[in-house]
Amino acid sequence: MKHHVQAGSFRVRQTRSFINAVQSAVISGLLFLAGWPLSIQADSFVEQRAAMVSHIRQHVVETSAYLGKDQLDPVVIEALQKVPRHEFVPWTYRDNAYANRPQPIGYGQTISQPYIVAIMSDLLQLKPGDKVFELGTGSGYQAAILAEMGCQVYSMEIIEKLAERSAALLQRLYPDSQLKTRSGDAYFGWEQHAPFDAIIVTAAGDHIPPPLIQQLKPGGRMIIPVGNRFFAQQLLLIEKAADGTITSRDVMPVRFVPITGDH
């Protein structure tokens, strides 16, 4: 039996396939030039993520004298194992996304070292459903970790273009989470959604913003780096007692980018 092929129909299908391929290549090229990774369906970074978590565990043991513990909350570990850190890193640094060090993300900002993200998330002693405010969305990675831990996250970024970029990424990756972002000066908190069970600050200033103290719920915790960008910075753990009394303790020396804005 002979099979007959309609040449015209074949050429049309072939042409459409070629056009689709060109369109896909153009879109990929534009995303590449923008400096951000493409969304990938198959996660090829599972082993790298596992290695990152292993390094974090070891670093926690090595710094247990600072932390007062030698292992992290399993909920934090699970979040680190799930969140695709490579999605939050510009394409040009993607090969190093899971290295235990900060990476540049543009606009003079960085995505924090995974170890620092881990211990800050852990020290807040969060529970699912806790309402958390974040000063400095940055890449969005810290917010993603908190969302993966089951928290209600309210994150604010002062650099508008960075805020737009991270908001779009978080919406794509976590469309059903209780995660809200906005552009604005986070020094003043987000009074509309206060009070917060916890506050996390991902940039260093020379003092603790008073509005954040006010918006912290009694019984709540805040983790914040304090100090000058050119000298020593300390990671502080702030606790607000039921009667409103504030206590703090130095956790460890750190280095963060400075809080942006005139305060």
Query: Tokens standing for 131?
Result: 């309402």
In this prediction, residue 43 carries a pLDDT of 57
In this prediction, residue 261 carries a pLDDT of 77
Q: Which residues of the chain have pLDDT under 70?
A: 1-43
In this prediction, residue 39 carries a pLDDT of 45
Residue 246 to residue 239: CA distance in whole angstroms: 6
Write down the domain spans for the chain: 58-254
Active site (annotated) includes residue 155: no
Per-residue CA distances from 221 to 8, 29, 133, 196 (Å)? 70, 44, 11, 9
DSSP letter string, 169-206 = HHHHH-TTSSEEEEES-GGG--GGG--EEEEEE-SBBS
Do residues 141 and 153 make contact, with C-beta atoms less than 8 angstroms apart? no
Domain 58-254 matching CATH 3.40.50.150: the answer reads yes
Q: What is the pLDDT of residues 138-168, one digit of tens each?
A: 999 999 999 999 999 999 999 999 999 999 9
Give the HSE-up count for residue 51: Cα atoms under 13 Å, Cβ half-sphere: 9
In this prediction, residue 24 carries a pLDDT of 39
Of 112, 155, 166, 177, which one is the catalytic site residue? 112
In this prediction, residue 31 carries a pLDDT of 42
Backbone angles phi, psi at 69, to 5 degrees: -160, 160
CA angle, 24 then 29 then 32, to 5°: 125
In this prediction, residue 104 carries a pLDDT of 95
Residue 199, classified by CB atoms within 10 Å of its CB into exposed (0-12), middle (13-18) or buried (19+), is buried
The pTM of this model reads: 0.83
Do residues 178 and 147 make contact, with C-beta atoms less than 8 angstroms apart? yes
